[in-house]
Amino acid sequence: MKTTSRFRTAMTMAATVLAMAAPAAAQQIGPDDKPAPGTTAAATRFPAEGLAVLDCAPKAPAPADSCVLRVPPSRERDRISKVETGAAKGDFALKRDLAEIDPALRLAETMVLIDTTPALGLARKPSWPRERSVIAEVLRGLPAGQPVALYGFSESLERLSDFTTDHEALARIVETLELRGSNTRIATSTRDAIDVLAARSSTVLRNLIVISDGQEEGNRTIAEVSLAAAEKGVTISTLGLFWRPVGVVENGSGLDYLQKLSEGTLGTSKGIEMQSRDKGRVAADVAEFLATVNRAADSSGLIVPKGAPVEADITVTLRKPRAGVPGVYDEELITARFTPEALRNPPEVTPAPPAKPPAAAPAPEPWYEREWQGLKLMWWAAGGGLAAVLLIVGLVLGLTRKSAPELDLEADFPLDLPEDLPPAPPPAPNVALPAPRAWLVRTDTGERLAVRKARVSIGRSDSCELVLEDKSISRLHAELEQAGPDSFNLTDAGSLNKTRVNGKIITGAKAIKAGDTLTFGDLSVRFVLA
């Protein structure tokens, strides 16, 4: 026991020293630093597939002239070096505070996703108070100042709190959180959480922490989740809270599932036996998980040029713990080539127009352009032709008058019309819209949406009777049905961001009255009777 205590104390002191040595905002990358001999950097990212540790041609919102460094939790950043590829020299720096680059840009944000399923027969309920305490400590231990959002899940995703830097407020929410739902759909909820993080368009590094017992009850595959995480730049770390007795098969299979969920996304995975009698062990496991996650956050950042950008090979040296040998590390070099945007996308050069060919010799003057008696021959010919035509027409008319018989217009063309013609059809009547039964008045714009049918659908899709354009609203979000002359019921249609009446989430049909505030996702309307 004493040896274990001393080992933990030594590891804590070592972690403290590493944290103090890590740069807080920017690290100068000196011009004299050299990568290891034989290192080449033809690619702009490493690795070539999946989520990149070093990406020198990053997607937005990262600046075009930058390299995104995302250090895995299993590694420690040691040093960064650069070698220019041409004669021009340049400097680079590692930055973590991006305010001086762009005040709207943020380096990292984290979402904590909590499994709230009570398990069959509420078997998880006795362990839930201890689990809540562990989750609250995780929230309190995340990097200070980093925005964190809190979501829960069972059958679907549920937002408990939007992104905030007040981690203590999030811990208080967890301390009163109750178990709910019936089925644990881990992969589906994780995939939906990735979409929520991907919508954070001003964040460079997006992190997701999934807290669950790992007992999947859905059909979505881990491969689909990993592909989405790599495509949208989301790191997934998992924390297994195993509430069943120590040593049961479910705990082992749950740990395997959560480890696979984090693989390939540069995340970490840790399992904690909540039924362990060693209370100190649980606290140590929580501290180890936080240290791993926070070390990766402190080591990551944005490598940017200082002054005019030049093409260079950027090499990051990482320290990897040697398996089975505590305190011994192996070096791992990763390299990518930084090419300034001006060289990656040079301006298009408009080709010069082709030279005009030499002018051809003038053609000889045609006969009809020549003149006689002051007029061109063309007009003399035209006048002669017209006179001949008039002469022929006159002769034809003279002959026709002598031989043509007179016509009896009334006999040959009777004008009497039948008296039994049907009357003309009456004009089509104008079709009027049904009178409104009620109104939904948007609180942000004042727009009035008329409810003209006894049952209407509400959502973002054009097929809904009431269309609300907002990204937080599902394609089919809710339905409104008239139950009586002045009574209506509102039902949520399984939307992602829920439906609320006067601020409270509804789960089934909810009776509403005039003056109630209805909230669909982030958009609110006031219900008014017609």
The per-residue pLDDT for range 409-430, each reduced to its tens digit, is: 444 444 454 555 456 555 545 5
Question: Where residue 453 sits, what CATH number does that domain have?
Answer: 2.60.200.20
In this model, does residue 169 exceed pLDDT 60? yes
Q: What percent of the chain shows pLDDT beyond 70?
A: 79
Nearest-angstrom CA–CA distance, 99 and 460: 35
| 258 and 112 part of one domain | yes
In this model, does residue 385 exceed pLDDT 80? no
Q: Does a structural domain hold residue 455?
A: yes
Task: Note the pLDDT of residue 361.
Answer: 57
Task: Note the pLDDT of residue 349.
Answer: 62
| 117 and 76 part of one domain | no
Q: Does a structural domain hold residue 139?
A: yes
| 144 and 162 part of one domain | yes
| 122 and 204 part of one domain | yes
Task: Note the pLDDT of residue 477.
Answer: 93
DSSP bridge pairs for 29: 92
Q: What percent of the chain shows pLDDT beyond 90?
A: 61
Nearest-angstrom CA–CA distance, 461 and 455: 16
| 235 and 139 part of one domain | yes
Q: For the chain, how many structural domains are there in total?
A: 3
| 48 and 114 part of one domain | no
In this model, does residue 5 exceed pLDDT 80? no
Task: Note the pLDDT of residue 134.
Answer: 95
Q: Does a structural domain hold residue 393?
A: no
Of the two residues 321 and 113, the one the predictor is more confident about is: 113
Confidence of residue 177 (pLDDT cuts 50, 70, 90): very high
Domain that holds residue 84: 44-96+302-344
Task: Note the pLDDT of residue 259.
Answer: 95
Average pLDDT over residues 299-323: 93
Planar angle of CA 457, 460, 461, nearest 5 degrees:
75
Q: Does a structural domain hold residue 523?
A: yes
| 76 and 160 part of one domain | no
| 91 and 112 part of one domain | no
| 513 and 459 part of one domain | yes
Q: Does a structural domain hold residue 387?
A: no
Nearest-angstrom CA–CA distance, 444 and 466: 16
Nearest-angstrom CA–CA distance, 11 and 2: 14
Task: Note the pLDDT of residue 343.
Answer: 87
Confidence of residue 373 (pLDDT cuts 50, 70, 90): low
| 70 and 120 part of one domain | no
Question: Where residue 152 sits, what CATH number does that domain have?
Answer: 3.40.50.410
| 179 and 227 part of one domain | yes
Average pLDDT over residues 397-415: 51
| 257 and 180 part of one domain | yes
Could you check whether the bond before residue 61 is cis, i.e. omega within 30 degrees of 0? yes
The pTM of the whole model exceeds 0.75: no
Yes or no: say if 315 and 334 are a contact pair by the CB < 8 Å rule: yes
Strands 234-242 and 203-212: parallel
Which strands, in side-by-side order, build the sheet including 54-55? 26-29, 91-95, 301-306, 67-69, 54-55, 45-46
Q: Does a structural domain hold residue 157?
A: yes
Confidence of residue 19 (pLDDT cuts 50, 70, 90): very low
